[in-house]
């Protein structure tokens, strides 16, 4: 989704800073940008010590930041009877730790500027503690709560914070998974995300029908929910 967001924003004339671990895809994005400039930086979000100087570099080369989108995330396969601390901590480090470290830098900058938008791509998977991958659900739940706290903190400074909660999106992360419910393309998901940003939504489920699903599952009693196989 991050790649498609960069592509679409650049096509709309935005100057975009794109960050990812692999430099090759970043250089391809830069070369194929149609209207707006794409500035690229190879970066691993778990390298939190590098974030402050890198953010300073990005602000300097772009002349400021109006919109920040955090789209990094991992979801390793976890067996039904597997309890793997290494996998769990990786998800916490990327999905939550990397986001918090970046969001703090951006929040300080936008609070000072009294303008801007922070977007975090969380997941409907964080709305309840489901069976398949406890650490993934936990990381997304924590991310959503952190975003809400940022929204409440920064509202006095005219900084908007948007929480995006996708359902199933056909990305490399979901490739090969069985029993996917209502999958949508990356292109469709990004269209919904950009629409939510434009409308200054506080929280947006992608697509909208997952909001209705969430309303239902959040009201299922725990004794019933634990018996459900999803």
CATH topology of domain 64-225: Rossmann fold (3.40.50)
Q: What is the pLDDT of residues 84-141, one digit of tens each?
A: 999 999 999 999 999 999 999 999 999 999 999 999 999 999 999 989 899 999 999 9
The pLDDT score that the predictor gives to residue 75 is 93
Average pLDDT value for residue range 150-166: 98
- Residue at token pair 């778990």: 46
- Domain spans of the chain? 64-225
With 70 as the cut, is the pLDDT of residue 41 above it?
Answer: yes
What's the token pair of residue 27?
A: 């250089």
With 80 as the cut, is the pLDDT of residue 175 above it?
Answer: no
Which pLDDT band holds residue 228 (cuts at 50, 70, 90)? confident
Bond prior to 173 in cis (omega within 30° of 0) = no
The pLDDT score that the predictor gives to residue 19 is 97
With 70 as the cut, is the pLDDT of residue 187 above it?
Answer: yes
The pLDDT score that the predictor gives to residue 7 is 94
Q: What is the pLDDT of residues 43-100, one digit of tens each?
A: 999 999 999 999 999 999 999 999 999 999 999 999 999 999 999 999 999 999 999 9
Q: What SS3 class is residue 128?
A: coil
The pLDDT score that the predictor gives to residue 183 is 84
Q: What angle do CA 206, 99, 38 make, to 5 degrees?
A: 80
Average pLDDT value for residue range 157-171: 94
Please report the sign of the dihedral spanned by the C-alpha atoms of residue 101, residue 128, residue 121, residue 119. Answer: negative
Average pLDDT value for residue range 203-230: 90
The pLDDT score that the predictor gives to residue 230 is 65
The contacts of residue 151 (CB under 8 Å, 6+ apart) are: 160, 161, 163, 202
Work out the mean pLDDT of the chain and round it to a whole number.
94
Which pLDDT band holds residue 195 (cuts at 50, 70, 90)? very high
pTM score of the predicted model: 0.93
With 80 as the cut, is the pLDDT of residue 229 above it?
Answer: no
């Amino acid at each position: 989704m991050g790649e498609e967001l960069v592509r679409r924003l650049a096509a709309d004339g935005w100057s975009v800073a794109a960050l990812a671990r692999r430099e090759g895809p970043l250089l391809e994005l830069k070369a194929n940008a149609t209207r707006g400039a794409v500035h690229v930086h190879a970066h691993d979000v778990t390298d939190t010590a590098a974030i402050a100087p890198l953010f300073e570099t990005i602000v300097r080369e772009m002349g400021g930041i109006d919109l920040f989108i955090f789209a990094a995330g991992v979801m390793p396969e976890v067996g039904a009877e597997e309890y793997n601390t290494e996998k769990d901590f990786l998800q916490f480090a990327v999905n939550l730790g990397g986001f918090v470290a970046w969001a703090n830098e951006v929040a300080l900058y936008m609070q000072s500027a009294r303008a801007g938008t922070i977007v975090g791509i969380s997941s409907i998977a964080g709305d309840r503690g489901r069976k398949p991958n406890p650490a993934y659900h936990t990381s997304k739940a924590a991310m959503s709560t952190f975003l809400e706290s940022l929204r409440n903190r920064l509202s006095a400074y005219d900084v908007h914070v948007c929480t995006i909660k996708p359902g199933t999106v056909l990305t490399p992360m979901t490739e090969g998974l069985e029993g996917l419910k209502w999958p949508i393309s990356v292109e469709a998901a990004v269209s919904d995300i950009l629409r939510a940003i434009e409308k200054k939504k506080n929280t947006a489920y992608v697509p909208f029908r997952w909001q209705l699903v969430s309303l239902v599952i959040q009201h299922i009693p725990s004794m019933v929910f634990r018996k459900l196989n999803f």
